[in-house]
Amino acid sequence: MDVDQRTWPEQDRTWVARYRAAIAGKHVPPAVLEQREDELLDAVHSAGLPAAEVFGDANDLAEEDATELATTDEEVRTSEGGGLRAALREVGGRLTGFGAVAVVLMSLRNGWYVDVELAATLVAGSVTAVFIGWAVGRSLFSAGRPVWMVGVLLAVLAVAAAGIAAAVSVGPDVVLASDVPVLLLGAGLLVPGVAVLVVAARMPQQTLRLDWDDAEWLRRFRGGLVSRLVPRAAARAHVAEVEQQLSSSGVPAQVEFGHPLVLAREVAGAHRAARARRWWMTTLAGTGAPLVIGLLILVNDSWGALTIPLGVVLVLVGLSRPVIAWGGRPWAQQP
């Protein structure tokens, strides 16, 4: 087919944009998705009809294709623990979010100009360090590296404690700069997060590692099982089973089973207790975090005129989370 025919007809571009948006993030490998789009385009040209008439709703088709074409390898490669790019994307998102919230808070409390106090700067830096450390630690945990995760979290907590202690000793009287425009300060706060996001976006797509010795492969496999909340006794049993198969086959673990985190995710996906644990963890976190933040906003009256609407919205989001999650509870689904 020539180049002109590889372009979607004008009438179908909205449809294909909806299809791409719906299938994005569903762990379909890029090469597979490109091939699937070629198949869809060929069918549209052959039928001579709009894509909506040939395939129906774009979102429904994307859901069906994602179910059929998604792979665990792609899920591991693009998710937490999949490499530096995913970690940078999360860190950049957190930095940008903190910067935006800080700008709104400063403008509500102080108007368009603000005094930058050393103590407040130290506290803000300490809190930001904790959240960034949590993001990095979670990525390491998902990558099957719990020891590294513990090291990062301990280091970050030590830095945060030192920063808060320094803020207490300095007191509120030390001013680094007076009458700083909030917009200028906000731009400075947003730059680091945006820069990290740009770096992450420009990084090449990472590939899954292929060179593993058996000892390291088994460590990462066990770490991957634990990170997916497989009970430790069950994780040890799975590792022992793999070791037994390796000793009898004489084939390297990478050749026999593929990437350790991919196998760990597949095993954890079939483990009922692990699925239940993940459901409880995500449901409790999704309920507790907005509830606590919303109540703190309401109690402290920290957002001025926006305090009540913002606090109420967050509380409602927290309360609605269990209702939304209830339909996906794993014990009500077939294994």
- Of residues 222, 320, 296, the one with CA closest to residue 264: 222
Q: What is the DSSP letter of 328?
A: T
- Of residues 181, 228, 209, 203, the one with CA closest to residue 92: 203
**What is residue 310's three-state secondary structure?**
helix
Q: At residue 262, what is the residue type?
A: V
Lowest mean pLDDT among 91-95, 217-221, 263-267, 296-300: 296-300
**pLDDT per position as a tens digit, 33-66:** 999 999 999 999 998 899 999 999 999 999 999 9
What's residue 296's pLDDT? 83
Residue 261: Cβ within 10 Å count: 28
In this structure, is the dihedral angle defined by the CA atoms of residues 293, 295, 299 and 304, taken in order, positive or negative? positive
In contact, 156 and 91? CB cutoff 8 Å: no
Element (H, E) at 239: helix 232-249
Q: Where are the domains of the chain?
A: 4-70, 81-202, 214-269, 274-332
As a whole number, the mean pLDDT across the chain is 87
What's residue 267's pLDDT? 94
pTM of the full structure = 0.74
Highest mean pLDDT among 4-8, 101-105, 216-220: 216-220
Task: Take residue 82 and report the two structure tokens written for it.
Answer: 């999949």
Residue 331 has pLDDT above 70, yes or no: yes
Residue 227 has pLDDT above 90, yes or no: no
Q: At residue 91, what is the residue type?
A: V
Lowest mean pLDDT among 167-171, 222-226, 287-291, 303-307: 303-307
Q: What is the DSSP letter of 7?
A: S
- At residue 234's C-alpha, the angle toward residues 230 and 236, to 5°, is 110
* Lookup result for tokens 């906000």: 186
